[in-house]
Chains A and B, each alone.
Chain A
Amino acid sequence: MKRYILSLFICTLLLTGCRENMPVIDCLTCEDGPDGPDEQVRKVLIEEFTGVRCVNCPQGSAQIEVLLEQYGEQLIPISIHAGFFSNPYTDSQYNFKTPEGDDIIGFLGEPQGYPSAVINRKKFSGQESLQLPQSAWAGLIPQELDIEPIINVELENTYDSATRSLTVKVGLTPIDDIEDDLRISIMVLENDIIDLQLTPDSSTPDPEYKHKHVLRDMLTDSSGDDITEDLTASTTIEKEFTFTIPDEWVATNCSTVAFVHRADNMEVLQADEAGLAE
């Protein structure tokens, strides 16, 4: 019997092993945060899927605002109102649903639960789909920021408030020659829209809720436009798009987002955001 107890003890000891060296954990919030993008730095796109009837989605939106404070312009959030909870209330002032948003959730996949977001349209190890639960966002953004961009994306908006006409110029400059098929997507966002949203604080929707980074329209196809030009190192490809900002949108709260992504697996390689300046 003593033999058995001894072997049991040894087996347990072998399994639990010795003391481990724990990972070093810094505190991002204790510092000034990462440096701002002087030149072209890697930017990360986070597409949050939400809906005005999604009671838990405001928690995810609040988390994105916290991450924005930490990563500044290196994080580009987009709130896409699509999926099960996105139908507006009869009292809603706006319908944030867009045909493009419906297409995007169609090809990126429906979330299994909310809040949910897709980061750089990439499937990460250990995750079963592109859709990521809120707990996974903060850990993946620095990982993506560490990747050097292989193409620069520079966005410039020209807005005429008299005609509400917007001209979007995008410059794409590969760092090295790129053989892969790439696409470009241009989105128009509107920030700080006050309208109904169901929140955990009440069983009735909050009429004063401020919706952030709302996808309003796209200037390309919802799955992006093919970049047909040769992607030669240090050679800039310029593209131009025009759009008229609808009257009901607050132009000063609008911005555009451009991102280049792979044609096959949709992975985002680089992105840029610019506000509307006259």
Chain B
Amino acid sequence: MKRIILLYTSLLFLLFCQGLYAQEDGNERKVATISGNLETNGNFFVEDSLVGAAGTPQYDHQLYGADAWLQLNYNYMGFDVGLRFDLFNNSNLLNPQDSYSAQGIGRWYIKKKINKLGISGGYLYDQIGSGIIFRAFEQRPLLIDNALYGVRLTYDLTEDWQLKAFTGRQKQQFDLYGSTIRGFSADGFITGGEESNWTLAPGFGVVGRTIDDDMMNRIVNTIESYDIADSIGAKYNTFAFSAYNTLTAGKFTWYVEGAYKTAEQYNNPFAEQANGTIGKLEFNPGSVLYSSLSYAQKGLGITVEGKRTENFTFRTNPFVVLNRGMINFLPPMARVNTYRLTARYNAATQELGEQAVQLDIKYSPSRKLGFNVNFSNITDLNNDLLYREIYTEVTYKYKRKWQLLGGLQLQTYNQEIFEVKPEAPLVETIIPYVEFLYKFDRKKSLRTEFQYLLTEQDLGSWAFGLLEYSVAPNWSFTISDMVTTDSEQFFKTVEKNGRVLPVDVNRSMPLHFYSLSAVYSYKSNRFSLCWCRQPEGIVCTGGICRYEPAFNGVKFNVNSTF
């Protein structure tokens, strides 16, 4: 408590005693700036057992939940100071099935650059390379906040070469995980000279994690409970190394990164023990090889990506599950889709084993016409299919009056692996979609969307339609509906999944998930109000996914930057 009071006092001192206005410092004029932003979500829950919006504390008795992040930044004399207040009231972000309430200082940091030396302390976000061996980041929709609570030093060896070293512990909501993490990286930039058309951006990184004694006791206890055939070693220290480089030569850009992790104990939830039970700790080294090659010229862009992952789960300890305690980030290898139905089935990154390729081609023969084709194929290390997607898109713009966009998406999705549903068949989807934007004048426009998801598996087929009327720059009104077109299949599946349906439910009746929303934007403030009815599904951000139960009720969001 004393520490928090001291922190508040220090920050207040910095904010107000130093003055908020322009000051003279020698011959250099220094200006203090203060800025910040607020993101807040208020959810009002209305129970509807028919769609599955029931059975959580929010629907049962709490009726209301809120999440808020208030960030304040202060810059003065080269100091960069930040403070963030986090609040969760009856929140379903941490566990969608449960309620979480807590509040406090979610983040603070101090940064200062002294000539070539950069010093940072507090809760830090950072990454090495593409994040394969280390990434401290935040994803609020999934309540991921993997900030490193520690110290970071950077040093500019030359204009083109920088060294970085850090040490700390990973944040766990308002607490910290016990393991310590330290890392080092060197990043450079090499050019062939003024006349050359190539550059290199090489880098090298290493990250070490030391398990704390309490956690090691649990690991040892766990291994001791195994049959002798499953007994493994255990190590306090694990190191992950990564070497990466971006080569740019004319119209080509080639990124390659190879990572290796020394042998450590990790949880394999699919491994069978000698006694027949499923799930055990294993002790193996891990590796990742990732590369992308891009070609870009006027009107044409081609990107090819490939990735192979083996035993590269790197977490603060082996007992954290889902998206908790992740030290690293493995880049997703499927297209990030944005339409409601094309984004319904997502390929979550598989840490234990994955082989993936992706091809993306964008071609615009004229300013009016554009094409996009994307293909991704993800298998496990035995070549069993996890995910395949073929995505096509055509865009046609008519002057500045209207724009038509449409295409077809084909998917094969391994629900058994991604959603841990034993015996679930591969989900095969065919999704045609179209979007039409019509501008009445410079301010008023109408956007419509229509998508149809055709599948015989999972919850069956869906249709989705949307109308969005915008009056720039302030107002936007949206009405949408997502409706089951194979309700028998929908009700059969949700019942099999455990939901109890009302006795009088009409199983052939289409089930509507409609939304009505209004958004008002004024300068840097955005207010949105939505009556939403959303079906259950898997929500993903950057390849990190989790199950989201159905929602029924009102959502009110405020975003403000100041």
Contact = CB atoms under 8 A, between A and B. Distances in A.
B183 A136 contact: no
Interface in B272-295: 273, 275-281
Contacts, number: 173
A127 B94 CA distance: 12
Nearest to A112: B95
Contacts of A15: 165, 182-184, 206, 208, 239
A63 B225 CA distance: 11
Interface in B210-245: 214-228, 231-237, 239, 241
B350 to A, nearest CB: 16
Nearest to A56: B420
A169 B221 CA distance: 35
A268 interface: no
A11 B157 contact: no
A210 to B, nearest CB: 15
A67 interface: yes
A63 B217 contact: no
B94 A128 contact: yes
A142 B218 CA distance: 8
Contacts of A4: 157, 161, 186
Which size class do B's interface residues fall under?
A: 35 or more
B98 A129 contact: yes
B502 interface: no
B500 interface: yes
Contacts of A203: 423-424
Interface string A113-138: 10000000000011111001111101
B106 interface: no
Interface stretch (A23-31, A219-227, A241-249): A23-31
A25 B94 contact: no
A203 B226 CA distance: 29
B174 to A, nearest CB: 11
A36 interface: no
Contacts of B165: 11, 15
B98 A135 contact: no
Nearest to A106: B57
A55 interface: yes
Chain A CB count within 10 A is highest, among B173, B216, B321, B499, for B321
Contact of A28 (B97, B224, B320): B224
Interface stretch (B8-16, B76-84, B311-319): B311-319
B316 A200 contact: no
A27 B281 CA distance: 15
B231 A25 contact: yes
Contacts of B252: none
Interface in A163-195: none
A126 B233 contact: no
Of the candidates B186, B218, B422, the one having the most CB atoms from chain A within 10 angstroms of its own CB is B218
Instruction: Identify which of A7, A59, A86 gathers the most chain B CB atoms within 10 Å of its CB.
Output: A59
Given A28-B225, A135-B269, A143-B218, A87 B498 contact: yes
Given A126-B316, A126-B319, A135 B206 contact: no
B498 A136 contact: no
Given A7-B163, A135-B281, A87 B500 contact: yes
Contacts of A128: 94-95, 172-173, 324
24 contacts: A11-B184, A12-B206, A16-B208, A22-B235, A23-B216, A23-B220, A25-B224, A27-B224, A27-B226, A27-B231, A51-B498, A53-B496, A62-B278, A63-B279, A83-B97, A112-B95, A126-B316, A126-B320, A133-B319, A134-B279, A135-B222, A136-B218, A138-B221, A200-B278
Interface of B: 55-57, 94-98, 157, 161, 163, 165, 172-173, 177-178, 182-184, 186, 204, 206, 208, 214-228, 231-237, 239, 241, 267, 269, 273, 275-281, 316-322, 324-325, 420-424, 496-500
Given A20-B236, A66-B275, 9 more contacts: A8-B204, A20-B237, A22-B234, A29-B228, A112-B322, A128-B94, A132-B319, A135-B318, A143-B217
The 5 closest A-B pairs by CB, nearest first: A139-B218, A200-B422, A139-B222, A53-B498, A110-B98
